[in-house]
Chain A
Amino acid sequence: MRYQDRLYNTLVSVVGSAEDAHDVAQEAFVHAFEKLSSFRGDSAFYSWLFRIALNAAVTRHRRQRRVAVSIDAARQEFGHEPVDSHPQASPAFGIEQSERQEAVRRALADLPEDFRTVLVLKEIDGMKYDQIAETLECPVGTVRSRIHRGRIELRQKLKRYLRDEDL
């Protein structure tokens, strides 16, 4: 289906786990089928679809009471332990790309949900600010502020994991 991989990849970073992202994407598409009559066409279909997915993720999150990638989920997804968040446990150098990606995922998962969502929509989904604003139904200024603050916070978290030259 169109948008399925785009939605899925965005959701992986938003909800923090591939398994949850799969389930949320599935729920979103099914719900979109059921509620298609309510799609007024005054917004982009993907924005509408993502809003449904986001609501599904929130519902799921309320049930599961978790958002961040669990150690088990990380091990299952990436085949190794997630990076220890303790500064002294950070490797001084030689971080491989996969480990760096793992660290970024971990840091993203640790971000407040508002910041994480806008950052993911911007960096992974490639949306413009106005598209993000439409999707999240908030002002463009809010999007701009959240992206900025999200980046600041993400950078602070990543500094615990990565070498300076990686940042």
Chain B
Amino acid sequence: MITRALFTIAAVVALTYATGSFVPRGALVTGSGAALAFGFLLIVAVQAARICDKLKMPRLTGYILIGLAFGPELAGIITAKMLADLALVKGTAVGLIAFLAGCELNLRHLRPRLRAIGTTALLTMLGAVVLLFAIFYALTYLLPVTLTFTTIERIAVALVAANVLAAYSPAVVVGILSETKAQGPLSETSLSIVVLADLVIVITYALSSTFAHGVFPSESGASALSMLVPHIFGSIGAGLVAGGVLALYASRVGSRSGVFTFAVLFISAEAGAALHLNPLLVGLAAGLLLENVTAIGGERLSKAAESVAMPTFAIFFAVVGAEVQFQAFLHTAPYAIGAAALRGLGIWAGARVAARMVGLDAVFARRLTFGLLPQAGVAIALVALLLADFHPWGPVVGTIVLGSIIVNQLIGPVLFRNALAAAGEIRAGEEAGGVADGDHQLA
């Protein structure tokens, strides 16, 4: 199996590389470059998934590594232009991932555990933010660009960086749960926490960056707080509209619901890119509406969307891997690894305290930590804002933050998969999945 997958990767790489030699390096071929990159990444990512299955590793790690290996920074088969053309696929993927997460969150079902989930989310975030704030505050005394900063300026830098790095990854959690078909309390709690926490992170980032803009008034960029209301409420509104359309379609028409769901999310992503809507919030609001308000329920549409979910995940995470700035990471590796370690420590400590407060099992709390380690979509989106909004210190601090995200991106999925396996939830999911002919059921 592994040999065949490697042979296929080699063949597709050779074909794509040969095609790339048609035009000089850097020349643009409109449209076809994106189709070529899409096909290449999808085929190679599926082969990587097969290898990962054999090695008992998460497929997501395989997708990310494939993107990293063939992206612009290393092999260069996928060029920066091709990646830019795939941005729409990425936006759709984020929307789909959030939609699937929303469809799995039945608030009535979760109500008895809402206090535990809320407390754990709050304390793990707090634990991570405190330690990250400390390390980034200390780093301002080491980085040349922040050496002359005043205390309040150092606080602003540390606050923004800690806020970005505190983000979790609903995308990775949904992706891992989807591929392993895991079911159980750990799966459900992890998913609930990452979704809830990322909503909070998006809001707190707007607050902390507004504070930073106040401290560095000469810097460009509008007040993030003034953008907050239209951004968040506009996204939620668009999501509710999309959810309503999907519910109407599912009840009145019903056929090809998966394709229709994908098309609706694609249009939301296209519109969202222009209207500055957050695809995560749009998808989540649509999924939550379907699962908790409509009679249709989220499960029907999330199952229908499964046929398009696998290729979407593969492309999304491969693109995430391809976007990794490997050279920059190498320069900041020690700081980045240190920040990632402290983040993990903060989450673990927060989970321990929360476990004592709400009466969770200590082993469960430890395993839960691993579900909160991965980072991807939201964190990367926030880093992009950090890099763009705060010159000259934004690019320097942002590179360290990005390095830390890379570490969490590569290690997080592996640890979470192992935690699910240790909790016996993967086996439970596989058994249920076998009965349902491969359909995944998260809840």
Partners in one complex: no
Residues in chain A within 8 A of chain B (CB atoms): none
Residues in chain B within 8 A of chain A (CB atoms): none
